[in-house]
Chains A and B, each alone.
Chain A
Amino acid sequence: MRRIGHSLIISGVLCSVLAAPAMAQKVLQLPIRTDGPKSLDPVEGSTTYDNMACVQIYETLLTNKYTDPLKYEPLLLTEMPTSPDNGKTWHFHLKPGVLFYDPYTYPNEFAKEPIFDGSRTRAITADDVFYSLKRLADEEYELENWWLVKDTILGFNEFKDEQNAAAEFDYSAPVEGFRKISDLEFEIELTQPVYRFNYVLGMFQTSIVAHEAVDTFGDDFFRHPVGTGPFVFESWTPKKDMALVANPKYHDVYYPARDEWSSEDRRRRLHRPAGKQVPFVDRLEFMMFPQDQPMWLEFQAGNIGYTQVPDEFFPQAFDKRTKELLPDQSARGVSGHSDRLLDFIFRGFNMEDPVVGGYGEKAKALRQAISLAMDLNEFNETFYSGLNVVYDGPIPPGLDGHPEDGRAAGAYQGPNLALARQKMNEAGYPNGEGLAPIKYLANRGGNSPEQTELMERQLARIGVRLDVQLVDFSTLIESVNKKNAPIFSFAWSSDYPDGENNLALFYGPNEAPGANHYNYKRAEYDALYERILTMSPGEERTAIYEQMRDMLLEDVPYIGSMARERHYTINEWLLNCRPTERYYSWFKFLDVDDSKRR
């Protein structure tokens, strides 16, 4: 018995010693609110959660800056793309030494040996960039993200039509606008100078993939990613968790330099690891949370690094009035951070509707009256704990064209009941007389029924009645796309940080089923939109943005606007964390201090 006891002690000590290196591993646990990604193939991705997972494994040519996410910097390039002809042709120089890394064990059901000619790595080339962009045109992927490059690259539309009509999609077929100069240098010529093309190259759907991986894994490529990113794939149980490990062959990417950080960020010591090679952690684990309570409890228990603070838990972490972190949270080492989202939350009018639509003075007055009767601040206080930002115009805070302090002269922002009633008179409906209930469609989920009740109450004050139809999301989309929704509730989250993205929502040719759900058509507006497409950021372009915004404020094709402000809490053991939802490839900058874990 004694001998057994000794053996056990010795075994225990040995196990501890042997286990020591494994324990030194830095493991970072992060939450994904909801079920997580549906696919790890960038070309099939569309949701925030696809983005969040994909960009840890794959990389784009450009990316947002961690220190200022509204700006871009090169990621797979040596420098920002240059254009010798004011934005029609773009010249790119790929960073040397960037390798795809194949992390799988072999043999497996897909291959006998590593996929790059028996090797685990291969350097990326210009051909990989062309191949990845061509995948957007392949009908096999249902053209889910074709809209990103449609009508943009010279000869690309023709390439798409020809290849999809052919018996087999030929990725080696040329595209007029793609010109390879060398393995690391290439040019892309556009149909016309389009400034937003640079933003597209920073979107995760245009991440660079290796054709060998797509060919090898076939239909299962979406769960067998092979990329150049800071992490490589280890495992994924859909709707549950995902594990990634640090890429042993990751190229030279360094933590932002000290002078790139604002003084506020430096005060929070975010600059500390400046200049160090990333990633810092050995393993990244995502946990999916379809419900908020488990996520919040896991954060409180210190098991996840940071979390968005769900609205219902906001008072547990922040003072509702001052929005400062509560003392008990600070005492536990938790820190807070907030970030405004590029949201445009609105209620739209169908401009082709015989009652609320049209550009005549009476129809316009009716829409203005409805807008003036609405009190968005009451919505904000009632349903969002006052956390949202109410503003005028379609351009969210932080972007060119957003009015100073969120207020624009000439906006018909309520509540102004006196003016609203006057407008009702001008519209020919004094106190709502003669106006039949107007059909209003909204998603039936969440607190939408309660929000609709508040809207009905507010509009009743000027005699406007609603014929409310709460429907599921697909029915709502279908009705809007078929122009059957006189008033509808929708929201838009900017694809890239440029007001042009929101102004495109009112561009005539984008009418439903396109993104112009309002079917707003004004030749003057369309002409200005076509002009800004080719302009680079600057005062002149901003002035046009404001002119377009003011046109919309006068015509009132929507009631709005609101943007969410996201609040985060960060556990003490998570270092370098400055959460943002503008992009997600910043997880590589995070580090952990296990000595501070509870």
Chain B
Amino acid sequence: MWAYLVRRVLYYIPLYLSILLVVMLMLRVNVDSAIMVKLGKNPTPEQIELIRTDMGLDKPFLTQYYILVKDVLTLSFEQRSWDQSVPVGEMIRKAIPPTLMITLPSLAITATISIAIGLVCSFNRGRWLDRGLMILAVLGMSVSYLVYIIIGQYFGASVLSQEMGVLPFEIQGYEPVIGPLEGESSAGLLNPMNWVKYCMLPVIIGVVVAMGYDTRFYRAVMVEECTRDYITTALAKGASSKKIMFVHMLKNALIPIVTRVMISLPFLIGGSILVEYYFSIPGMGRTMIDAINSKDFPVVQATVSVFAAFVIITVILTDVLYALVDPRVRLS
């Protein structure tokens, strides 16, 4: 397996370097626009030159590329953001925890509930329970994410606050759940109430939105499993439906489940742009979209390189997991 892993890593290195190269090339197609964004409507040629030097854009392209590769290898990202003037590495370090506080629970809850519903639906396929749940899933899928956010904020926070006099959820901002942010004081290391206050509503919305898609996917997977011979054999042997669903079917459906969950993993770091934007959560998704909007190239490069690295690592890990969950798969 180790030989396989080394081979895969070696295979992905040129691919990764190419991704970095393409990103840099794309960003430099219209580099003047980034300067204009920073300098406003009436820059003088003198200012343009000054800022070009300050941004490191006067250096040869290969030198700029080398700096990026070095930053990625050392995970330092010392270059300062053009928009926020703070080191990019610091921005990313601060953005990852809020994102994980939302995406990790969302993924875990969505996957657990969707798989369970998928199993129940497949076992009852064609019956009212299956049809009802699938109608709900389609309805859930059909409504825009934005609508859930707006309604969630309105009822989940504002109405509760005004009508009941309590404010269970904040609709704005984020406070650290584990440990203090750099430069800030904190009473303790673990603040679970902060999670309830700042993350729970976005997580609920994320779960509701994702469940429609996931439930349909897992149902399809399970329905296919239902038609397998081993299910007929188990039924013939008198196995209970619980045992068939949660022991036999689930085990055999693990490959598509693992694939789906692993595909979602890089997005845990990427964050949810809409949720983070509307709830003002300073996570990776918001950092990335803000950087794109303000043409903050160092941050765009850094976030894309982190994201690409996660995608590659996930692909390799998925292969490994295949071998672990299915003895027929051999890594060679």
Contact = CB atoms under 8 A, between A and B. Distances in A.
Interface of A: 35, 38-39, 44, 46, 139, 142-144, 146-147, 219, 222-223, 235, 237-241, 287-291, 293-295, 297-298, 300-301, 472-475, 477-478, 480-481, 490, 513-515, 517, 598
Contacts of B85: 38-39, 44, 219, 222
Contacts of A475: 30, 33
A44 B47 CA distance: 13
A294 B42 CA distance: 34
A139 B50 CA distance: 7
A515 B41 contact: yes
Nearest to B278: A291
Given A239-B290, A240-B280, A290-B280, A472 B33 contact: yes
19 contacts: A139-B50, A143-B44, A144-B39, A222-B85, A223-B86, A237-B181, A240-B173, A240-B280, A287-B173, A290-B280, A293-B150, A294-B172, A297-B158, A301-B158, A301-B167, A478-B33, A480-B41, A514-B42, A517-B41
Nearest to B47: A143
B14 interface: no
A474 B278 CA distance: 25
Contact of A513 (B43, B153, B278): B43
B153 A235 contact: no
A237 to B, nearest CB: 7
B318 to A, nearest CB: 34
B139 interface: no
B83 interface: yes
A38 B84 contact: yes
Majority DSSP secondary structure for residues of A touching B: mixed
Interface string B85-124: 1100000000000000000000000000000000000000
Nearest to B84: A238
Nearest to A109: B183
A295 B280 CA distance: 11
**Ordered nearest first, which 10 A-B pairs have the shortest CB separation?**
A474-B33, A297-B158, A474-B36, A301-B161, A294-B172, A294-B171, A474-B37, A477-B36, A515-B42, A240-B173
B57 interface: no
Contacts of A139: 50
Contact of A297 (B154, B184, B295): B154
Nearest to B32: A478
Given A219-B80, A300-B162, 15 more contacts: A46-B40, A144-B39, A223-B86, A235-B184, A237-B181, A239-B286, A287-B172, A288-B280, A294-B171, A294-B279, A298-B172, A472-B33, A474-B32, A474-B33, A474-B37
B34 A474 contact: yes
A431 to B, nearest CB: 36
Contacts of A146: 47
Interface in B138-185: 150, 153-154, 157-158, 161-162, 167, 171-174, 181, 183-184
Interface residues of B, number: 45
A407 B246 CA distance: 78
A418 to B, nearest CB: 37
A294 B174 contact: no
Contacts of A287: 172-173
B65 interface: no
Contacts of A294: 153, 171-172, 278-280
Contacts of B181: 237
B28 to A, nearest CB: 14
B50 to A, nearest CB: 5
Contacts of B50: 139, 142-143
B172 A289 contact: yes
Interface string B271-311: 00000011110100010001000010000000000000000
Nearest to A236: B183
Contacts, number: 107
B229 interface: no
B277 to A, nearest CB: 6
> Most A CB atoms within 10 A — which of B39, B174, B181?
B39
B32 A35 contact: no
A478 B84 CA distance: 23
Contacts of B39: 142, 144
A332 to B, nearest CB: 10
B286 A291 contact: no
B157 A301 contact: yes
B138 to A, nearest CB: 27
Contacts of A490: 41
A474 B29 CA distance: 14
A546 B46 CA distance: 35
Contact of A474 (B47, B51, B158, B295): B295
Contact of A240 (B34, B42, B83, B174): B174
> Most B CB atoms within 10 A — which of A46, A144, A515?
A144
> Most A CB atoms within 10 A — which of B54, B150, B173?
B173
B171 A298 contact: yes
Nearest to A300: B158
A109 to B, nearest CB: 10
B54 A239 contact: no
> Most B CB atoms within 10 A — which of A35, A287, A480?
A35
A478 B42 contact: no
Interface string B246-290: 000000000000000000000000000000011110100010001
A139 B286 CA distance: 31
Nearest to B181: A237
Contacts of A219: 80, 85
Contacts of B150: 293
A131 to B, nearest CB: 21
Contacts of B46: 143
A472 B30 CA distance: 12
Contact of A147 (B42, B51, B86): B42
A295 B153 CA distance: 11
A143 B45 CA distance: 11
Contacts of A477: 36, 40-41
Nearest to B41: A477
B44 A513 contact: yes
A10 B87 CA distance: 49
B271 to A, nearest CB: 14
B167 to A, nearest CB: 7
Nearest to B37: A474
B42 A513 contact: yes
Contacts of A44: 85
A142 B54 contact: yes
B189 to A, nearest CB: 19
Contact of B153 (A144, A223, A293, A598): A293
A297 B157 contact: yes
B156 to A, nearest CB: 10
Contact of A235 (B36, B54, B158, B183): B183
Given A474-B34, A477-B36, A297 B153 contact: yes
B104 to A, nearest CB: 21
B41 to A, nearest CB: 6
A35 to B, nearest CB: 7
